[in-house]
């Protein structure tokens, strides 16, 4: 039996068919599973399937290779995987085996992974183009070259080796960028669990706590929802919030600090990505509120650009314009608005972009620009909107009261035919909402 992934077997079959249609009949596509990684001597990091293989099969086991051979008469979708082994399964849990790959995962045919070496050269022979993700797994890159060389060695006997090697992502990323109805359901679920986790952290916070205690609150809710962190949770109190990828989470939360929490659940492979910044004692100071209001306004400005036909980059441009205008108004920057934007002076306090595609990977695949121009938004695209402001603790160009404040507000947005849907709605966002939520704890 296949564990439920939230995507029906026909869904995977449809994705594979679409990909093969794009690749054409003289192509072959090769997708290995993620390798297992040692964490310490004989124990491994938690296993996470390669997102591309997951997208095309829902197959969760390591030591697997999907080979798609469009138009092949004896079967187009082939999976190489571990054989059943009662002794090993007694240690590590059940395996599908090649039989299960056909019966439960809808493969046309399946073989033991140990036979890959013998079978793959024969599948490559006669195909013109190989689609593969070059450079992701060096060990597998070398194996593939070895199999190609085996075909090349047979040329005088009439073998025809492939002679075009193409980046698989070129086709597959474009498919993955547009989320289906089933995928959106899973993303809503990931978002909902993440909203609940942020609420738990906002409820739990008290001055004197440690950042890791808030991380524990978040991740307790993730696990209770059958999810896990989509990326390492960021919990930064006070000036730690200014470190964009802060992950130590070991600091103590002081009275008067803001706490920045950037954490999202992964559910059935799909990520949510939320940031909230809230006061440890439940009340924003005047400066904290001024900057929080400004980031909130920047997020609204970006969100107003989230609809079909608008350039993806319009959201970032709107956020930057709002932030720059506010920084001038508050006196953190000086000069003319146009110049502050054109010269990038705002980057002193806003160093990152306003978002990224979201899906099976938290920074999901898909081109942002096409032919040098920002691509236009279309229904089914999902991305984050996450403006922020970070005033370094040692920034002596501004009065001391502004220093060490770091704020980011991040939500997840799906483009619909009419406009957009905020997947992470319902979580207190503005300063008033956050204070009201915390007062009611």
- Given the residues 136, 283, 352, 375, the one annotated as active site: 352
Comparison of 219 and 262: residue with beta carbon closer to ligand GLY? 262
Select the binding partner of residue 125 from Mn ion, ligand GLY, none (C-beta < 5 to 8 A, by kind).
Answer: none
Number of Cβ atoms within 10 Å of the Cβ of 138: 9
Residue 219 interacts, among Mn ion, ligand GLY, none and using kind-specific CB cut-offs from 5 to 8 Å, with none
* Nearest approach, Cβ of residue 231 and ligand GLY (Å): 5
State yes or no: is 73 an active-site residue: no
Let me know if 163 is a catalytic residue.
no
Question: Is residue 410 among the annotated active site residues?
Answer: yes
Residue 231 partner contact from Mn ion, ligand GLY, none using kind-dependent CB cut-offs of 5 to 8 Å:
ligand GLY
Closest CB to Mn ion among residues 57, 384: 384
> 3-class secondary structure for the chain?
CCCCCCCCHHHHHHHHHHHHHHHCCCEEEEEECCCCCEEECCEECCCCCCHHHHHHHCCCCCCCEEEECCCCCCCCEEEEECCCCHHHHHHHCCCCHHHHHHHCCCCCEEEEHHHHHHHHHHHHCCCCEEEECCCCCHHHHHHHHHHHHHHHCCHHHCCCCCCEEEECHHHHHHHHHCCCHHHHHHHHHHHHHHHHHHHHHHHHCCCCCEHHHHHHHHHHHHHHCCCEECCCCEEEEHHHHHCCCCCCCCCECCCCCEEEEEECEEECCEECCEEEEEECCCCCCHHHHHHHHHHHHHHHHHHCCCCCCCECHHHHHHHHHHHHHHHHHHCCCCCCHHHHHHCCHHHHCCCCCCCCECCCCCCCCCCCEECCEECECCCCCEEEECCEEECCCCCCCCCHHHCCCEEECEEEEEECCCCEEECCCCCCCCHHHHHHHHHCC
Q: Which does 325 bind (CB under 5 to 8 A by kind): Mn ion, ligand GLY, none?
A: none
Beta bridge partners of 300: none
List residues bridging with 388 in a β-sheet: 408
Residues 381-420 that bind ligand GLY (CB under 6 A): 386, 410
Q: Which is nearer to ligand GLY, 211 or 325 (CB)?
A: 211
Q: Is residue 273 a contact residue for ligand GLY (CB under 6 A)?
A: yes
Whichever of 231 and 368 has its CB closer to ligand GLY, that residue is: 231
Q: How far is the CB of 192 from Mn ion (least distance, A)?
A: 17
C-alpha dihedral over 218, 220, 226, 231, to 10 degrees?
40
Q: Is 183 in the site for ligand GLY (CB under 6 A)?
A: no
| Shortest Cβ 364–ligand GLY spacing (Å) | 11
Q: Which of 386, 411, 420, 429 is catalytic?
A: 386
**Tokens 């060490």 sit on residue:** 404
Whether 133 is catalytic: no
Query: Of these residues, 82, 246, 390, 420, which one is catalytic?
Result: 390
Handedness of CA 398, 399, 404, 407 (dihedral sign): negative
Q: Minimum CB separation from Mn ion for residue 404, in Å? A: 20
Q: Which is nearer to ligand GLY, 5 or 277 (CB)?
A: 277
Site track for ligand GLY across 211-250, x = CB under 6 A: --------------------x-------------------
Tokens of 280: 């440890």
Residue 408 annotated as catalytic: yes
Q: Give 350 or 402: the residue with its C-beta nearer to ligand GLY.
A: 350
273: annotated active-site residue: yes
Residue 322 binding result from Mn ion, ligand GLY, none, given CB thresholds of 5 to 8 Å by partner type = none
Is residue 352 annotated as part of the catalytic site, yes or no? yes
Query: What crossing angle do the helices spanning 431-439 and 181-204 adopt, rounded to 10°?
Result: 60
Does the protein bind ligand GLY through residue 262 (CB under 6 A)?
yes
Which does residue 210 touch among ligand GLY, Mn ion, none (CB within 5 to 8 A, set by kind)?
Answer: none
The single residue of 336, 363, 401, 441 carrying the catalytic annotation is: 363
Which residue lies nearer to ligand GLY by CB, 332 or 358? 358
Instruction: List residues near Mn ion by CB under 5 A.
Output: 262, 273, 384, 410
Please choose which of ligand GLY, Mn ion, none residue 414 contacts, taking the beta carbon within 5 to 8 angstroms, the exact cut-off set by kind.
none
Q: Of residues 17, 356, 375, 403, which has the active-site annotation?
A: 356
**Where does this chain bind ligand GLY (CB under 6 A)?**
231, 262, 273, 356, 362, 386, 410
Q: Please give the positions annotated as active site.
A: 42, 245, 262, 273, 352, 356, 363, 386, 390, 408, 410
């Amino acid at each position: 039996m296949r564990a439920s992934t939230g995507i029906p077997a026909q869904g995977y079959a449809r994705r594979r068919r679409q990909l093969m249609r794009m690749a054409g009949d003289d192509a072959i596509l090769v997708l290995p599973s993620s390798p297992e990684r040692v964490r310490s001597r004989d124990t491994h990091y938690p296993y996470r399937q390669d997102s591309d293989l997951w997208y095309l099969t829902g197959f969760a086991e390591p030591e697997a290779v999907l080979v798609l051979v469009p138009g092949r008469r004896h079967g187009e979708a082939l999976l190489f995987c571990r054989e059943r082994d009662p002794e090993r399964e007694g240690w590590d849990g059940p395996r599908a085996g090649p039989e299960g790959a056909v019966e439960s995962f809808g493969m046309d045919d399946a073989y033991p992974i140990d036979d890959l070496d013998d079978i793959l050269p024969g599948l490559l022979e006669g195909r013109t183009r190989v689609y593969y993700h070059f450079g992701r797994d060096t060990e597998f890159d070398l194996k593939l070259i070895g199999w190609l060389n085996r075909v090349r060695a047979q040329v005088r006997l009439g073998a025809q080796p492939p002679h075009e090697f193409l980046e698989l992502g070129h086709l597959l990323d474009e498919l993955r960028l547009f989320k289906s109805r089933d995928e959106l359901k899973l993303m809503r679920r990931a978002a909902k669990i993440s909203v609940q986790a942020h609420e738990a952290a906002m409820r739990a916070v008290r001055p004197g706590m440690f950042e890791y205690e808030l991380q524990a609150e978040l991740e307790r809710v993730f696990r209770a929802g059958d999810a896990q962190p989509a990326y390492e949770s960021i919990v930064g109190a006070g000036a730690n919030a200014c470190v964009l990828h802060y992950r130590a989470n070991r600091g103590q939360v002081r009275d008067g600090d803001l706490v920045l929490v950037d954490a999202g659940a992964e559910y059935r492979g799909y990520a949510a990505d939320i940031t909230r910044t809230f006061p440890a004692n439940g009340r924003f100071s005047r400066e904290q509120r001024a900057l929080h209001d400004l980031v909130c306004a920047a997020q609204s400005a970006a969100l107003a650009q989230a609809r079909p036909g608008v350039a993806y980059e319009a959201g970032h441009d709107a956020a930057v314009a709002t932030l720059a205008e506010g920084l001038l108004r508050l006196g953190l920057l000086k000069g003319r608005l146009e110049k502050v934007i054109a010269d990038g002076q705002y980057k002193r306090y806003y160093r990152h972009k306003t978002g990224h595609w979201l899906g099976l990977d938290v920074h999901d695949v898909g081109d942002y620009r096409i032919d040098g121009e920002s691509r236009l938004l279309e229904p089914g695209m999902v991305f984050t909107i996450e403006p922020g402001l970070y005033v370094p603790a040692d920034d002596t160009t501004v009065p001391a009261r502004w220093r060490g404040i770091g704020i980011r507000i991040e939500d997840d947005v799906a483009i619909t035919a009419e406009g957009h849907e905020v997947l992470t709605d319902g979580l207190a966002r503005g300063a008033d909402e956050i204070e009201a939520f915390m007062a009611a704890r």
